[in-house]
Amino acid sequence: MFKDRTIILGITGSIAAYKAADLASRLVQAGAAVEVVMTESAQKFIAPLTLRALTNRQPVTSMWQDAREFSIEHVSLAEAADAILIAPATANTIAKLAGGLADDILSSTVLATRAPVIIAPAMNCNMYDNAATRANIASLKSRGFTFVEPQSGRLACGSEGKGRLAPAETILETLAAVLNRKNDLAGKTIVVTAGGTREPIDPVRYIGNRSSGKMGCALAAAASARGASVKLVSTVDMPDSSGMTVIRVETAAQMLEAVRGAVKGADALIMAAAVADFRPLTAAGGKIKKNAAPLDLKLEATPDILSEVKGDFIRVGFAAETADLIDNAKKKLGGKNLDLIVANDVTAPGSGFGADTNKVTLLFKDGRAEDLPLMPKRAVAEKIMDYLATMLN
């Protein structure tokens, strides 16, 4: 994955700078040549000596540093890079890059490179939410920069909010996806559904399920990264949906209508959404009061989207099961005329609703089957895209 790749690891002046040591170590262990570039403020949080010990290379800390094997430091680093990873990235550095400034070694290297740039922000939640920062991030995304969204939680300043550096696994997974990015879905239109539907009981209550939408969002991101035109029909918000058409829905009926419109001219439909099987026969116009108990709630079946949506496109379904996984998945594969079904046991550890990982079995129309090990949902998505690209091309 990273073997024999040259990775420029940019470190900026965030309290999370110490976490860059773990990233450097993991990259070196994976066979990468890691060149560390540190801003002046980064050196206040972590010593260059630490990074030198981990990478066996002297970190570059200044525009005026004596050159090693590199001649004009920032240009040579920029040309040698297979990718530039900035983790952590402060609001200040993001603003510099958005404005095209080149007043330190890191910003100069980024401006001079043609390699992909991956940015993992870490900062105070109010700084991250500030309109200026959001505009700078949007500008960089529009120019092809890849962002690894920060996490929410308690920050070093004591505040609670979004601004914590993403986990090392997530950052390296994104870096690997960028390095191995393919363009084998260019010119294709892929419709993806994500999230669990909500079937109203009254204006404040609904019947739903535990789906987080993470698998569907991972599929949409993977398809988009490989050049596809993506239409995402979703009940949940996607952290980064730039470049996609997003259609927000809530109920199964709304999803059916949205999918019917979206698949016109599409090359593939991936139904990753967890569509509720039942909905209330009627929804109350006002909030049902507790003193109305006992409540007699009559249900009816929701529409089967995969069965009802017609068209000449590849059809991929999901089977989230708690028992008889393969048998139930095979029935859905044939009954819904699918080309591929992704079966997963949602009771298995680390798999299913809400988890960041998944363990699935791929069942194909021609009878083939492939068990995948437990892996991040983005990695599962990439595997599915490998097969989808083969089917379409």
**Cα–Cα distance for residue pair 351/169, rounded to 1 Å:** 17
* Cα angle value 356/357/361 (rounded, 5°): 145
Strand 369-371: give its sheet, edge to edge: 245-248, 229-234, 189-194, 268-271, 314-321, 340-345, 361-364, 369-371
Q: Helical H runs in the chain?
A: 20-29, 48-55, 73-80, 91-99, 105-112, 125-129, 131-142, 168-179, 214-225, 252-262, 305-308, 325-335, 377-392
**Cα–Cα distance for residue pair 218/381, rounded to 1 Å:** 6
- Tell me which of 49, 157, 204, 292 is the catalytic residue: 157
Residue 332 among known ligand-binding residues: yes
Residue 303 among known ligand-binding residues: yes
Residue 277 among known ligand-binding residues: yes
Q: Which residue has the tokens 């570039």?
A: 37
**Cα–Cα distance for residue pair 263/171, rounded to 1 Å:** 33
**Cα–Cα distance for residue pair 169/379, rounded to 1 Å:** 12
Residue 383 among known ligand-binding residues: no
Instruction: Label residues 47-59 b or e (16+ Cβ within 10 Å = b).
Output: ebeebeebbebeb
* DSSP-assigned states of every residue in 167-179: PHHHHHHHHHHHH
Residue 278 among known ligand-binding residues: no
**Cα–Cα distance for residue pair 74/313, rounded to 1 Å:** 48
Residue 287 among known ligand-binding residues: yes
Kindly state the tokens that stand for 39.
């801003």
Whether 157 is catalytic: yes
* DSSP-assigned states of every residue in 293-350: PSP---EEEPP-HHHH---SSEEEEEEEESSSHHHHHHHHHHHTT-SEEEEEETTSTT
Residue 3 among known ligand-binding residues: no
Residues annotated catalytic, as ranges: 157
Annotated binding site: 277, 287, 303-306, 318, 332, 336
Which segments are annotated as binding site for CTP?
277, 287, 303-306, 318, 332, 336
